Structure 1
Amino acid sequence: MNLFTDIRSLVLDCLTAMVAEGTLPEGLDFANVAVEPPRDAAHGDMATNAAMVLAKPAKMKPRDIADALAGKLAADARVTSAEVAGPGFLNLRLDRSSWQSVLGAVLAEDIKFGRSDLGAGKRVNVEYVSANPTGPLHVGHTRGAVFGDALASLLDFVGYDVTREYYINDGGGQVDVLARSVYLRYLEAHGQEVAFVDGTYPGDYLVPVGQALKDKVGDAYVDQPESVWLQEIRNFATDAMMDLIRADLASLGIKMDKFYSEKSLYGTGLIEAALKSLDDKGLIYEGVLEPPKGKKPDDWEPREQTLFKSTEHGDDVDRPVKKSDGAWTYFAPDIAYHYDKVERGFDELIDIFGADHGGYVKRMKAAVSALSDGRVPLDIKLCQLVKLFKDGQEFKMSKRAGTFVTLRDVVDAVGPDVTRFMLLTRKNDQGFDFDLDKALEQSKDNPVFYVQYANARICSTLRKAAEAGIATDDATLAAADLTLLDDEAQLAVAKKLAEWPRLVEIAARTNEPHRVAFYLYDLASELHGLYHLGKSNEGLRFVNESNPSATHAKMALAKAVSIVISAGLGILGVTPAQEMR
């Protein structure tokens, strides 16, 4: 059930009738007619922009349309009033039975409430994390991991066929640096003193990898030239790092459907095939680029390169795919990787990038547009930086990692549920200050505690009712007389529950899972407010042993809130709390 969709259908039916009557001209497009909560709840329960969006194409005054539409809407039993405001907005108030029916729908649909077929089974690939396999995931990766995983769950919730994918950046020189770093730890395991130079990685996380290499090959690589061991240690170290990364992700409850190796693109003809696809469309040529902005002429050496006409697909400049020496640019394998995604039959692609990849957005979108002939949309979400604070001071390094705060540092400090929820309380493209002390604080100012406490409070209330001999099983609550819930505070909770299906669809359409976290906080606030009113108003108290019927109705309301909170937390990857400790 989606009450907002139902009322929008009512509005469209009324508009269609107005066309048939001649009040409105034929041929109007109703696609932009919306029904949504008003900005100010005092104005009503719902508002529609119908008169505003139809006035110009209908060549009529907005208020004239609104007045005629109001009369038709008011004739529906669900609508108690339809009032025209301002230049032509229409505010609606609904009969309380409409809100009570929402509670019945939540109880009947249970975990399916709010789900939809918005995605219509379309295949969407969500690529996220995709860190270089050179060490443990750091706090920046944590945000991308949580955001990507929640987005994947959100899209699954509304009917998409989702593939979670990790692109292993194991094709570049940084993996050679990893191999050299592991070799140093390998020598160290043999009792030699070593020095980490030339950008090698000094983190302690490579100590067990060096020991494991010694256990595997003994002294076979000791004092041997790099040509003997580089490739083997490169493969060994990459596998070890990917095991570490998989364990890091598992600590957050993240499991990928596919790990895709960049290295698999080289020497297999995949890069060549992707560029041939672009060449066949006339989008590859030999040319010389203009000097980058800010470069002085004497600093610029023009060189002929193989270029992709990305400007024909919305980019600012054309992009090189092969250097003048014949080597591939970094962009070439990325084109090939996305070409493979298109060839795998995905209908939509989503990439989650770090904040430092902003300059990559237009060229990657241009590539996918060209490769798919505009058929497959690519949405790229950038996750801004995270700063960690504890005791009022910023965390700046992890001894284990050597230079940065790891994902495990965060999870060990506050737990996976708190980590995930907190990182989703801010839009992905906004910077985030993560205060570890605040994250564990038990107060209204801590959103994860506030939402979890609401669910735990409901569970406690249901237990108290059962202890008082009042049945709280699903069948009893489903049969509860919901008309007994007629107080404005109770209806306010029902109204917030009614927003859930609409909110989920908006979040999915915009690829913004943070909206779910915001909504859950608001829903929890309504529940807590109602609970506190019960302390001074016995009629609003959830458990009343002398009035089982009223208690059943209130328990039904509480259970409906718990169902939606649990669904929302499930999307965010957070386990609902049954009790607070």
Structure 2
Amino acid sequence: MNIFADIRALVIESLDAMTAEGALPEGLDTRNVAVEPPRDAAHGDMATNAAMVLAKPARKKPRDIAEALAEKLRGDARIASAEVAGPGFLNLRLSGDSWRAQVRAALEAGAGYGRSDLGQGRKVNVEFVSANPTGPMHVGHTRGAVFGDALASLLAYTGHDVTREYYINDGGAQVDVLARSVYLRYLEALGQTVAFEEGTYPGDYLIAVGEALAKEVGEQWVDQPEAVWLEEIRDYATDAMMDLIRADLKALGVEMDVFFSEKSLYGTGQIEAAIKDLDGKGLIYRGTLEPPKGKTPEDWEPREQTLFKSTEYGDDVDRPIMKSDGGWTYFAPDIAYHYDKVSRGFDELIDIFGADHGGYVKRMKAAVAALSAERVPLDIKLMQLVKLKRGDQELKMSKRAGTFVTLRDVVEMVGADVTRFVMLTRKNDAPLDFDVNKVLEQSKDNPVWYVQYAHARIHSVLRKAEEAGLPTDTPADLSAIADPAEFALVAKLAEWPRLVEIAAEAHEPHRIAFYLYDLASEFHALWNKGNANPALRFMQEDDPATTAAKLALIRAVAIVISNGLGILGVTPVEKM
């Protein structure tokens, strides 16, 4: 039940009636007519821009349309008042029964409250994390993992058919470096003294891998040239690192549906098939690019290359897909990988990259647009950096990794639930300061604690009501919910279905975290008012009927908090 959608439907119905009466001309486009919470709650419960949107095409003054529309709306039992403001905005207040109906709707729907069929079963691929398989995941990967997993849950919650996917970057030079690093740990496990040169991976996490390898193959690769052992150790090490990464993701509560290997694209004809598809559309050619904008590098020289005509689809320049030696550029397997996604029948693709991939956005969108004949949209979300701190001290090192703080370090410090919630307290394209001390505080400044505390407080009240023998089932009569402070809480929980759809359409799961904090704030505010005004307390021991109505209200709030935390992958607590 989406009260905003219901009232918008009432507005459109009233506008249609005005058209039938001749007060508005035929054929007006009402798609941009909105009903939203007002910016200032003092102005009412909802506001509509209908008169402002329709004034020009209707060739009427906005206030004239607003006054006529207000008169229509006042005739509906759900509308307590309709007042014109400014040049033609229309502010609405709902009746008490309308708000009480939202409480009942939340209680009846339970875990389904806020779910929708917005996606209509559209197949969406969400690719996230996709860290190089060269070591444990770091704190930056953690943010992308949480964002991607929460976004996938949000889309599933709104009726999309979602696939969570990890792209294993095991086809590049970095896995050769991994193999050489494991070889050193292998020699070390056999008693040799080794030195890690610059560019290798010296973290402790490879010690166990080297020891396991030594136990498995003995001394057969000691003093052997790289050509003998590189390929086998590369595969062995990649598998070991992916086991480590899967364990890290599991510790965070993330499970992938698909792990796709970049290596599987080479030598199988998949890259060639993707490029052939583009070539058949006239988008591959031999040409020479202009020098980079700004100061031209001294070693730059014009040379003919095989290029993808990405400028046909909004890119700034065409992009090389083949090196001068005939090998593929890094872009070519990425084209092939997305060609595979398109071929699997996805209706929408979402890629979640680190902030350093900003220059990759336009070319990748161009490739997907070309490969899918512009049928499949690609949304790329860039994750800004995370600064992990303990008070004023920034944490940069990990014994486990050697050079960076790992995902597992963070989870062990504060727990998976806290980690997940805090990672969503900023929009993805904004830097995030993660203060380990702050997120463990029990204060309003700690959003995860504040939201969990609201849920736990509600369950504490419900337990006390049961112990006192007071009714906790939903009563037939909710008229005892009548105070403005109570209606303010109802109005906030009633925003939930609308907020979910907005967040899903924008691919912004952080909106869920923000909303839960605001809902918790309204609940705590009502609790505090009850301390000063006994009539607002949730338990009225001498009035079971009033108690039942007030408990119904807070149970509805608990349902929304639980549903929202579920999307974020956070377990709601009932005791603190």
Match of 1:483, as an amino acid?
S
In the alignment, what sits opposite 1:264?
264
1:449-495 deviation line (CA, Å, top 9, x unaligned): 000000000110000001101132xxx22x34211110111111110
- Determine the C-alpha separation between the residues in 2 that align with 1:304 and 1:13: 63
1:546 aligns with 2:542: yes
- Determine the C-alpha separation between the residues in 2 that align with 1:512 and 1:88: 31
Asked whether the equivalents of residues 480 and 549 of structure 1 are also in contact (C-alpha less than 8 Å), the reply is: no
1:84 aligns with 2:80: no
Match of 1:322, as an amino acid?
M
In the alignment, what sits opposite 1:422?
422
Q: CA deviation at 1:381?
A: 0.4
- Determine the C-alpha separation between the residues in 1 that align with 2:68 and 2:391: 61
Which deviates more, 250-259 or 528-537?
528-537
Which deviates more, 544-553 or 330-339?
544-553
- Determine the C-alpha separation between the residues in 2 that align with 1:203 and 1:410: 17
Which deviates more, 545-554 or 172-181?
545-554
3-state SS of the aligned residue for 2:364? Answer: helix
In the alignment, what sits opposite 1:296?
296
Which sections of structure 2, spanning at least 5 residues, go unmatched? Answer: none
CA root-mean-square deviation: 0.9
In the alignment, what sits opposite 2:188?
188
Match of 2:49, as an amino acid?
N
- Determine the C-alpha separation between the residues in 2 that align with 1:481 and 1:114: 23
1:574 aligns with 2:570: yes
In the alignment, what sits opposite 2:121?
121
Which deviates more, 512-521 or 212-221?
212-221
- Determine the C-alpha separation between the residues in 2 that align with 1:119 and 1:305: 42
- Determine the C-alpha separation between the residues in 2 that align with 1:298 and 1:138: 36
Moved over 2 A (4+): 294-299
- Determine the C-alpha separation between the residues in 1 that align with 2:198 and 2:145: 30
In the alignment, what sits opposite 1:448?
448
- Determine the C-alpha separation between the residues in 1 that align with 2:81 and 2:153: 39
- Determine the C-alpha separation between the residues in 2 that align with 1:419 and 1:260: 26
Q: CA deviation at 1:198?
A: 4.1
Which deviates more, 254-263 or 286-295?
286-295
In the alignment, what sits opposite 2:319?
319
Q: For 1:69-218, list aligned pairs within 5 A.
A: 69-218=69-218
Asked whether the equivalents of residues 489 and 519 of structure 2 are also in contact (C-alpha less than 8 Å), the reply is: yes
What's the TM-score once normalised by structure 1's chain length? 0.98
1:4-47 deviation line (CA, Å, top 9, x unaligned): 00000000001111111111111111111000000000000000
Asked whether the equivalents of residues 79 and 94 of structure 1 are also in contact (C-alpha less than 8 Å), the reply is: yes
In the alignment, what sits opposite 2:500?
504
1:293-348 deviation line (CA, Å, top 9, x unaligned): 23437532111111000000010100000111111000000000000000000000
Q: CA deviation at 1:391?
A: 3.2
1:255 aligns with 2:251: no
In the alignment, what sits opposite 1:40?
40
3-state SS of the aligned residue for 2:530? Answer: helix
Which deviates more, 415-424 or 532-541?
532-541
- Determine the C-alpha separation between the residues in 2 that align with 1:146 and 1:516: 13
3-state SS of the aligned residue for 1:51? Answer: helix
Which sections of structure 1, spanning at least 5 residues, go unmatched? Answer: none
Q: CA deviation at 1:512?
A: 0.4
Asked whether the equivalents of residues 471 and 547 of structure 2 are also in contact (C-alpha less than 8 Å), the reply is: no
In the alignment, what sits opposite 2:466?
466
- Determine the C-alpha separation between the residues in 1 that align with 2:298 and 2:547: 82
3-state SS of the aligned residue for 2:434? Answer: strand
1:62-91 deviation line (CA, Å, top 9, x unaligned): 111111111111111111111111111110
3-state SS of the aligned residue for 2:90? Answer: strand
Match of 1:305, as an amino acid?
Q
Q: Residues 480 and 457 of structure 1: is their aligned pair in 2 closer, same or farther, counting only changes over 3 Å? A: farther
3-state SS of the aligned residue for 2:554? Answer: helix
1:246 aligns with 2:243: no
3-state SS of the aligned residue for 2:438? Answer: helix
Match of 1:513, as an amino acid?
P
In the alignment, what sits opposite 2:523?
527
- Determine the C-alpha separation between the residues in 1 that align with 2:297 and 2:511: 48
- Determine the C-alpha separation between the residues in 1 that align with 2:561 and 2:226: 56
Q: For 1:39-58, list aligned pairs within 5 A.
A: 39-58=39-58
Match of 1:374, as an amino acid?
E
State, as a whole percentage, how many aligned pairs show the same letter.
74
- Determine the C-alpha separation between the residues in 2 that align with 1:69 and 1:492: 26
In the alignment, what sits opposite 2:533?
537
What is the aligned length? 576
In the alignment, what sits opposite 2:558?
562
